[in-house]
Amino acid sequence: MKQIPHPRFLCPAESVNDLSSGSASGIHPLALDVLREAMARLPACRSFAELLAVIERGTRLLLPTAQMAFLLRQPDACLEIVHCVPSAAQDRLRALVDELIERDRFGQALKQGFAWASAGPDRTCLLSRISTTSRIHGLVLWVDPALAPPWHQTLGALTDLVGLGLERLNEDAEAVMVPLPPSGARSRPALDVAIPADRLTGLAHRAHFMRFLQQAILDSVPHLSAAALLLDIDGFHRVNRELSYESGDQILCELALRLDGALRSESTCDRVGVVEHDICFARTGADEFGVALARVHHPQRLGELAAHLHSHIAEGFLQQGSRLHLSVSIGIAAASGLAESTSAQDLMRNADTALKRAEQAGRNRYALYESSWEAPGTPHLRTESLLQEALRQDSFTLHFQPQFALATGHLTGAEVLLRLTLGDGTPLSPASFIPVAESTGQIIEIGEWVLRRACRQLRVWDALGLARIPFAVNVSAIELSQADLSTRLQFILEQEGVGMERLHLEITETAIARNEALAIANLKALRAAGFEIWIDDFGTGYSSLKSIKNYPASGLKLDREFVKDLSEDQAARVVAASILDLARNLGYPVVAEGIENAVQCALLRSQGCDIGQGFHLGHPVDALEFQRLYLSGGAN
């Protein structure tokens, strides 16, 4: 059996069809000598810089007058010139690089391994890719009048050998050794630096991302900000479960490339006022990406950047013959040089808080962090301590917001709302302490406290002979992920002596989607036990026809977003009417929340909405005031 030569070892006159002959006799003797020497030197190489020196020496033997540029993929995925030979040709080579990018020679080289181009009557260019099996690490550019086709395969083979050497160097590491230039826009040591690289996407790892972000914060001044964006793919677990992990990996790679291109476009840089090397794009989690920005001139336009990224995801991803549309939630946080003692961890924590806000608002949203989300002096750890103290001292309180039948005005129930007041009497917003309770797991104990107190209040009013109304109680995503949820809730109600039908559990589909299989199993068990299940915030987030079809729902809560514009917006009225018609045809009652004026109330009543809730009908009040206003003959 004849040996088949490596494709790049073929002589220029030898086509792929000639491989059957086994002939490789056309290879120039000097080329063979260069490749033999390279293979002999590679085992001794201990860094990427030494590997690149092998290419430089081989080039000098073949083409003594050639100009060279090494372009390496940086942690932010951008290709950057890190070394030129001779150094005096740097400006000319940079201009040539820009020209070749415009002619798409770079794209060709990255995809096919190498690309040839004429750069004028006295110059020929060759680009060759440096890559391992898991990642493209860079390109080598040669320019020389004598760069004839016989040398193309030899130079390409040199870069292939360097790729093999790099594979050996990084066989057990999740980093590549990248020589960074000693000068430029930012001062960097002229040493090999370990740059963490995600094996799947080729982006930077979280560790380097955090270092970049910390340096961006240190570099910030009053008129220049540092910023962090966290991007999380909504419901990505469904892709892995319903398609395959391979499909999931393909989507992650395509998404990384698509967003990387969007971030580095001239319009993006101009939008927020940065240059390309002030951007670091990284994979910070399984389905989470991070964008760190340094020297941001226009932080007020970061929301526009998020919307721009959303537009690049909207076209979907082709998988298994059909187009799959995914959405991404984005959290944004910025810090200027005026901020005191801000760290990368602080900025990431703020971006993560904003991300959670965006996810709670529904899919494909972005949120910009606001310091007002946390009361002064109550950061995360302080809030966690406050919650623990409130549980220990039984200092939470419940408020109740009435719900009325819109057709008759009769009281039909009340939503239970948790309240917490600081020691000085200042109320702490649920928007600031509920996310903390969910992140620490305290929400489980708090949820049980709410249920027990709600049950005891029902028993008090029952004993007084007052109207036997049900309570609506919110169930968090954390609670819904507990395998024993139904058993635990039944046990609590049995202990408190309250029937299951008196509790209406309100659950968002966003919460269900976090662990859909377990959530649906829990909902079915709760429904079978006698609890009413209401899909909260219907029409936003993950809510869809699928939720009505697959979830054991008792009714729907029309989100306030569809109610607030009813008075002025005809389109809002059409959407609300469509949802109400859908629910009516399927036999589901609807509670409209956020009714704030008589016009909204009248429109919903005319469209057949069953139940209403909002400030126009009644504010949340404590138990005694609720009893006085709504259960003892008081005015509605």
Confidence band for 422, pLDDT divided at 50, 70 and 90: confident
SS (H, E, C) 417-435: EEEEECCCCCEECHHHHHH
Among 551, 559, 544, 502, residue whose Cα is nearest residue 522:
551
CA distances (Å), origin 404, targets 156, 457, 470, 582, 604: 76, 19, 12, 21, 12
Task: Measure the CA–CA gap between 242 and 233, rounded to whole angstroms.
Answer: 15
Residue 183 clears pLDDT 50, i.e. is over it: no
Q: Tell me how far apart the terminal alpha carbons of the chain are, to the nearest angstrom.
A: 94
Residue 323, number of CB atoms within 10 A of its CB:
9
Residue 366 or 5, more confident: 366
b/e 413-452 (16+ beta carbons within 10 angstroms → b) = bbbbbbebeeeeeeebeeebbbbbbbbbebbbebbebbbe
Region of 363 please: left (phi>0), alpha (psi -120 to 50) or beta. Answer: beta
Q: Look at residue 416 in the predicted model and tell me its pLDDT.
A: 97
Residue 338 or 433, more confident: 433
Length of the chain: 636
Residue 114 clears pLDDT 80, i.e. is over it: no
- On the CB side of 33, how many CA atoms lie within 13 Å of its CA? 8
- On the CB side of 450, how many CA atoms lie within 13 Å of its CA? 25
- Each domain of the chain, given as residue ranges in start order, spans 7-179, 198-373, 397-631
Range in 17-21, 146-150, 233-237, 496-500 the model is least confident about: 17-21
The average pLDDT across 184-211 equals 62
Residue 125, number of CB atoms within 10 A of its CB:
23
Among 504, 564, 570, residue whose Cα is nearest residue 540:
564
Report whether CATH 3.20.20.450 matches the domain 397-631: yes
β-strands 366-368, 328-336 pairing: parallel
Report pLDDT digits (tens) over 251-283.
998 898 889 888 878 888 888 998 878 899 999
What letter does residue 77 receive in the DSSP assignment? Answer: S
| 248 CB-near residues (< 8 Å, 6+ apart) | 236, 239, 240
Residue 174, number of CB atoms within 10 A of its CB:
12
Task: Measure the CA–CA gap between 329 and 46, rounded to whole angstroms.
Answer: 42
Helix (H) or strand (E) holding 165: helix 149-169
CB distance 549 to 535 below 8 Å: no
CA distances (Å), origin 345, targets 213, 214, 233, 468, 601: 9, 8, 22, 50, 46
Report pLDDT digits (tens) over 52-81.
888 888 888 888 888 998 888 765 556 778
**Record: fold of 7-179:** Beta-Lactamase (3.30.450)
Q: What CATH number does the domain located at 198-373 have?
A: 3.30.70.270
Task: Measure the CA–CA gap between 137 and 35, rounded to whole angstroms.
Answer: 21
Residue 280, number of CB atoms within 10 A of its CB:
27
Q: Which two tokens stand for residue 128?
A: 């060759």
Confidence band for 398, pLDDT divided at 50, 70 and 90: very high
Q: Where are the alpha helices (DSSP H) in 482-635?
A: 485-496, 509-513, 516-529, 545-550, 570-586, 598-606, 623-626
Single-letter code of the amino acid located at 476 = S
Among 86, 95, 140, residue whose Cα is nearest residue 119:
95
Single-letter code of the amino acid located at 2 = K
Residue 417 clears pLDDT 90, i.e. is over it: yes
pTM over the 0.75 mark = no
Number of helices followed by number of strands (H, E) in the chain: 22, 23
The average pLDDT across 180-207 equals 56
Q: Kindly calculate the radius of gyration of the chain based on its CA atoms and give it in whole angstroms.
A: 32
Task: Measure the CA–CA gap between 636 and 633, rounded to whole angstroms.
Answer: 9
β-strands 288-296, 136-144 pairing: unpaired
Single-letter code of the amino acid located at 283 = R
Q: Which two tokens stand for residue 117?
A: 């181009």
**Average pLDDT over all residues of the chain:** 80
The average pLDDT across 198-214 equals 84
Task: Measure the CA–CA gap between 202 and 57, rounded to whole angstroms.
Answer: 28
CB distance 180 to 193 below 8 Å: yes
CB distance 590 to 579 below 8 Å: yes
Q: Look at residue 408 in the predicted model and tell me its pLDDT.
A: 94
Q: Which two tokens stand for residue 330?
A: 């984005």
Q: Look at residue 43 in the predicted model and tell me its pLDDT.
A: 78
Single-letter code of the amino acid located at 164 = L
Q: Which two tokens stand for residue 237?
A: 């677990």
β-strands 317-319, 328-336 pairing: unpaired
Cα-flanking dihedrals φ and ψ of residue 241, to 5°?
-75, -45
Q: Which two tokens stand for residue 625?
A: 């005031």
Q: Look at residue 336 in the predicted model and tell me its pLDDT.
A: 76
Report pLDDT digits (tens) over 434-458.
888 887 778 888 999 999 999 999 9
Residue 102, number of CB atoms within 10 A of its CB:
9
Report for 76-90, 158-172, 386-400, 592-606: range of highest mean pLDDT: 592-606
Among 591, 480, 454, 601, residue whose Cα is nearest residue 534:
591
CB distance 149 to 124 below 8 Å: no
CB distance 176 to 170 below 8 Å: yes
Confidence band for 95, pLDDT divided at 50, 70 and 90: confident
Report pLDDT digits (tens) over 516-572.
788 889 999 999 999 999 988 776 554 455 556 678 889 999 888 888 888 888 888
Among 85, 78, 83, residue whose Cα is nearest residue 101:
78
The average pLDDT across 156-161 equals 85
Task: Measure the CA–CA gap between 556 and 413, rounded to whole angstroms.
Answer: 15
Tokens 């540092």 -> residue: 226
- On the CB side of 63, how many CA atoms lie within 13 Å of its CA? 25
Q: Which two tokens stand for residue 518?
A: 């377990």
CB distance 111 to 147 below 8 Å: no
3-class state of residue 548 by DSSP: helix
